[in-house]
Amino acid sequence: MPEKTYDHNEIELKWHERWAAEPALYQAEENSSKPKYYVLEMLPYPSGALHIGHIRNYSIGDALARYMWMRGYNVLHPMGWDAFGLPAENAAIQNKRPPREWTLSNIEKMKRTHRRFAFSYDWDREVTTCEPDYYRWNQWFFLRMLEKGLAYRKQALVNWCNLCATVLANEQVVDGCCWRHESTPVEQRALDQWFLRTTAYADELLQDIGLLEGTWPDRVLTMQRNWIGKSEGAEVDFQIEGYGPVRVFTTRIDTIYGATCMILAPGHDLVSTLGDEAKAAAKRMIDAAAQQGPGDVEKEGFDTGLKAVNPFSGERVPVWVGNFVLMGYGTGAIMAVPAHDQRDFEFCRKYGIRILPVIRPADGEIPNVDAMQEASGEYGIVENSGPYSGMTSEKARAEMAAFAEQQGFGKTAVTFRIKDWGVSRQRYWGTPIPVIHCEKCGVVPVPDDQLPVVLPRQIQITGKGRSPLDEVPEFVNVDCPRCGGPARRETDTMDTFVDSSWYFYRYCDAKNSNAPFDKAKIDYWFPIDQYIGGVEHAILHLIYSRFWTKMMRDIGLITNAEPVRKLFTQGMVLANGMKMSKSKGNVVDAIGVAESHGADTARLFALFAAPPERDMDWTETGVEGIHRFLGRVYRFATRNIGMPGGDGSADTKILRKLHQVLRRITQDFDQRWHFNTSIAAMMELVNEAYLEEQNLSAAAMQQTIEILTFLLAPFAPYLAQELWEEQGKTGAVFKQPWPAFNEEMARETEVEIPVQVNGKIRSRLTVAAGLDKAGLEQAALADEKVQALIAGKTVVKVIAVPDKLLNIVVK
């Protein structure tokens, strides 16, 4: 055949059209005898356009999906839209476009891009989280959790901007101020809000990290462990004169004789019983804490004038309020042991509170208070501690906790850093929380048969008020389902992390209108075999998803304990060395690259520029290099298909290379996922094929072209399919069996062995592959250069590694 020029648009648009007419191409089989494989990429937020960061994520998943098809698996590869969220509301305020309309048109546009890139999604299973057929199940789950006590309501602080007169999401708070009013500090207001009891699963979420070891990245597991933050210690009551007991949590009950004051969080219940001045000071601390970013903050506090009694020593100590004591952790109150805790030390030094050391190192003296520069947090021997003096810290911890429990003023206790999940959002564009507030009956769940509670579509979003839904009387005013009297609908909507906590289950049964999904389908497809996404979701999304799975298991919907067997976190994409961002204006749009260089080129480059777990740099010249490579492949194949061929003198050589490359790429898929080296290997093969083009027999040439087509199939689907057709074949190339490599054919017959003398390379020998140690040694010692170098010296040792190297040690 005559050589053809590589015109990516011609090839890609042709197949794009043909594939559009084949809806079953990427569908998973319903009753398959093949083993299943569920590969999933994180669903995108429909912001309006796919960028190359998305393309990288999907190119990894798509290569894997296609490879697994070729390996004979029944592959489930779905995609959907994380379609609720704040940007749609902002767009509504700015362009007066309804959020749903804006969102759906974005989805339409992005889906076209997805198709242009030929990602192999089963669009029949598409999930769009902002549509009632999806979010009704959010509501259904919420009601189940309400029944089980896993959903509950309590007061919590929200960010409030006085100028906007509205609640701000955390991401709308910039440097402690409102994003639209940069000089207006955000205030903290207490509102009744809905929470999911993730803490009920804290222990199991921590325990089951063990199940993920080896298949999830270690750093993700570490981050989750830290996030859950289990800490074991004790709770102890201190009696406060004129108030009652206040409970503290401590991991160091062994230091309790050194407690020289008690410090309360500014939000602690006791503070509300204090005078106006103290309450105002505490409020200032709370607002200041919300405004400060991360970093070192000066410790502040004030004396309440109250005294607390240490239940162990009987000593009376002052009660303070301190800005560094967190209400959301432990009991919101601590005993300060300045001698043995750095934070307490800094606080007490600043305010002149007594410092009393009670621990000495096992082999040292108790610290001298006047010389102390910092607290000593180490375990040691307990001193000045009544009957516990002389014990090790470990022993004292156990005995003191037991004593407290026996006396009824304390107990051993475990505290978690992870908090219950606040799911209330004072927003429009989210799942309505399905409850009704009745004056007579209180909080009444919406009955299941009245789901979904549909989000009203005709609504003015003003950006003011407690919540946009508050302004919609048709939505708010309802009859109480229990007593029939007038009642108000809940106007908070759910956090969008709810949507993404279970969407991958819905893919298995996306059109079910009677249940979130059918259990048998979950049993077949779950767990997800491979989940691929950005590391930025290592904590929240993936912990919530794990929580949701355990919750669904406990209400009998599923049997698996974990949703995801293997997790892969890919690196970021930089544009010319810089992080892509809208503000810098350097976001590389995916569809533009597809038009200028082709989808195949973009996909291949996304995998070639760096190993997938690392950050990669997107450069125009690099993209062009890949485009050149694909052109080389295409021209080579088209001009050689069906040609008579040469004398075959290079057949052995090219077939050896072919099998070496095949082995390399197969291993890259099965073990390492370093697709950059897979692609480099294909380039090596093509380079060699160019050099030997005239010396290949027709049979070797056709085999080279065919296998190269298979190798390209997971990475460059358009070109691979086109070459498949050029070779006169029919059917989808990615449904053909992946070729097996032949170890025999991949083996080199001759190898070059570097010969070292005292570790420096002095000569090279070409020997038969597999030559043993003795043979190598003999060949090396016969070498002229080697002989010259070792002449007159004593050979101490000869290290021979067959097929690798030989080292002669002389003196």
Concatenate the DSSP letters of all residues of 600-612 into one string: HHHHHHHHHSS-T
Nearer to RNA, 501 or 807 (CB): 807
In angstroms, give the least distance from the CB of 255 to RNA: 9
Which SS3 state, helix, strand or coil, does residue 353 take? coil
Q: How far is it, in rounded angstroms, from Cα 261 to Cα 269?
A: 18
Closest CB to RNA among residues 244, 759: 759
* Least distance to RNA, CB of residue 303, Å: 18
Under a CB-based contact definition with an 8 Å cutoff, are residues 489 and 470 in contact? no
CB of 760 to RNA, least distance (A): 6
Which of 337, 329, 373 is closest to 356 using CA atoms?
A: 337
Distances 244 to 240, 261, 267, 279, 310 between C-alpha atoms, Å: 5, 16, 17, 19, 13
Can you say how many angstroms the Cα of residue 335 is from the centroid of all Cα atoms in its chain? 37
Task: Provide, rounded to whole angstroms, the least separation between the CB of residue 112 and RNA.
Answer: 29
Nearest CA to 549 among 198, 265, 797?
A: 198
Give the Cα separation of 764 and 785 in Å (integer): 10
Least separation in angstroms between CB 797 and RNA:
6
CA distance 478 to 490: 10
Q: Is 236 left (phi over 0), alpha (psi -120 to 50) or beta?
A: beta
Q: How far is the CB of 672 from RNA (least distance, A)?
A: 6
Nearer to RNA, 6 or 505 (CB): 6
Tell me how far, at minimum, the Cβ of 393 lies from RNA, in Å: 13
Question: CA distances (Å), 706 to each of 219, 522, 703, in order?
Answer: 41, 38, 5
Tell me the C-alpha distance between 503 and 517, whole Å: 11
Report the helix count and the strand count for the chain, using DSSP H and E: 26, 34
Positive or negative torsion for Cα 167, 171, 176, 180? negative
DSSP element (H, E) containing 134:
helix 132-147
- Measure the CA–CA gap between 213 and 202, rounded to whole angstroms: 18
The nearer residue to RNA, 266 or 563, going by C-beta atoms, is 266
> CB 552 → RNA: shortest distance, Å?
27
* C-alpha–C-alpha distance, residues 225 and 184, integer Å: 37
Q: Which residue number, 561 or 680, has a Cβ lying nearer to RNA?
A: 680
Q: Identify which of residues 66 and 397 has a Cβ nearer to RNA in the complex.
A: 397
451: left (phi over 0), alpha (psi -120 to 50) or beta: beta
Q: How far is the CB of 134 from RNA (least distance, A)?
A: 28
Nearer to RNA, 667 or 736 (CB): 667
Closer to RNA at the Cβ: 299 or 489?
A: 299
Q: What is the smallest separation between the CB atom of 288 and RNA, expressed in angstroms?
A: 9
User: Is 276 or 298 the residue whose CB approaches RNA more closely?
Assistant: 298
Closer residue to RNA, CB minimum distance, 431 or 570: 570
